[in-house]
Amino acid sequence: MIYLDYAANTPVDKRVLEEYCKTNLLYFGNPNANHQAGFSALNQIEKASEQLRGILHCGPMEVLYTSGASEANNLAIKGAARAYRENGRHIISTCLEHSSVSGALTWLQQTGCEIDLVDIKKDGTVDLQHLKELLRKDTVLVSIGYVDSELGVCQPIREIGEIVRDYPQCIFHTDATQAVGKIKVDTENIDLMTFTPHKFFGLNGMGVLLRKENVVLEPLVHGGKSSSIYRSGTPVPAWAVSIAEALKISYNDLDNNFEKVRRIRHDLQTALQKYPLVHINSTEKSLPHFLNVSVKEIKAEVFQSMLNEKGIYVSTKSACSVPNTPSRAVYAVTGDRKLARCSWRISVSHLTGEDEVKEFLAVFDRCYHELTDK
């Protein structure tokens, strides 16, 4: 097996799994209970949250633990839009967002909200001038992802936050799912930030929403005491502890891992660019963990299927996207629907080995010539 789909999911680090299991065994009391077992369990959550805040340098932001980034995005977007609906119903986002963001926005649009999408430049970043033009007095939410999941384009989050800050009634949310664990994120001008640990060698089924203290949300789930009024349900100490552990491990070697990934991406891109029908869709603003390519005239599903048969695993788009549809992200950057229909994503990590890269390129070569006769 050659796994080149790390943007979809990562294998759990054994140290993270050990912390999860140990916490479940030792701190099994209900954190809401008014006795020592409950107090001890709650203390584990509070310690993990403090560790998480320290690593991300996000100050006093509240840490809400959810079942994943999809729930966190829905809580952030629906919660903010509904909490501030008396101030306005205008929301700004992009065409690059994960389906848990675009789906939540579609739901809000059906309930009477007005959604505008910011133009995307050729390098995949948002047009800041267009963002300024779209902002209005009744804009209550701007939701723009830190790094998109197909091209891996890193957005100018600090600058976006500074622009939004001129509109005090407007909340700025960023889905940082594809950023946290890969780069050092900047949280200074962010009101709401979401991510999940299974993208950086943590466990599935967990998510985080960071909330600035002055931001109000309408809960998705009502009733049931919890560690936060915004997310009902019994808090899970093992979630918090394992997320903090995964984040600590990823940050401890962030620079070295990034440099290794950069070299892998360079080797892959250099080799693939030699093929006349290959078009590189990722841009200079993309993180090296992502390499989005199109093989012209060959549908993405066809190429992916052939690679899959040979034990090489890549994605046609984000794992949560609607299958057999053109990539909105690739179309936004290239303006070419055929390229968008033929695009697929290679995503690597520091665990990707040189031998895996060589084997992938050899298999790619055979598939390319078999499918294109060129």
What positions carry a catalytic annotation?
320
Residue 331 tokens, joined? 């179309």
Contact 317, 327 (CB under 8 A): yes
CA atoms 284, 285, 287, 291: torsion sign:
negative
Residue appearing with tokens 């046609």: 316
Q: Describe the strand order of the beta sheet including 139-143 as a list of residue ranges.
A: 62-66, 207-211, 192-195, 171-175, 139-143, 90-93, 114-117
Q: Which amino acid is at 171?
A: I
Residues 6+ apart with CB under 8 A from 133: none
Contact 3, 313 (CB under 8 A): yes
Nearest to 354 by CA among 281, 294, 268: 268
DSSP code of 109? H
Contact 315, 293 (CB under 8 A): no
Distance CA 9, CA 261 (A): 16
Burial of 111 per CB tally in 10 Å (0-12, 13-18, 19+): exposed
